[in-house]
């Protein structure tokens, strides 16, 4: 699977420590060889929710059958 800068990607697993769930939409902001990605996830307001380093297997490309949705963020206690 090949990703490039600014690709929209879908998270394939929950990352509760970052407040992220499988299905969240992010953008690739850096590519690390051989299979690392820096992905930014933003709130609907445009504020960065998380900037995480992932493996290519943690995300997938956006598909024409994907629908964007909004959900409230869980605040850490």
Q: Does domain 8-61 have CATH number 1.10.3470?
A: no
pLDDT, average across residues 5-20: 96
pLDDT, average across residues 47-55: 97
The answer to whether residue 77 scores a pLDDT higher than 50 is no
Residues of the chain above pLDDT 90, percent: 92
Q: How far apart are CA 15 and CA 13, in angstroms?
A: 7
Run of H or E including 60: strand 59-61
Q: What is the pLDDT of residue 76?
A: 55
């Amino acid at each position: 699977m090949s990703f490039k800068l600014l690709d929209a990607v879908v998270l394939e697993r929950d990352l509760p420590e970052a407040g992220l769930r499988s299905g969240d939409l992010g953008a690739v902001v850096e590519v690390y060889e051989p299979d690392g990605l820096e992905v930014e996830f933003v709130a609907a307001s445009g504020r960065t929710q998380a900037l995480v380093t992932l493996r290519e297997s943690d995300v997938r490309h956006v598909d024409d059958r994907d629908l964007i949705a909004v959900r409230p963020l869980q605040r850490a206690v």
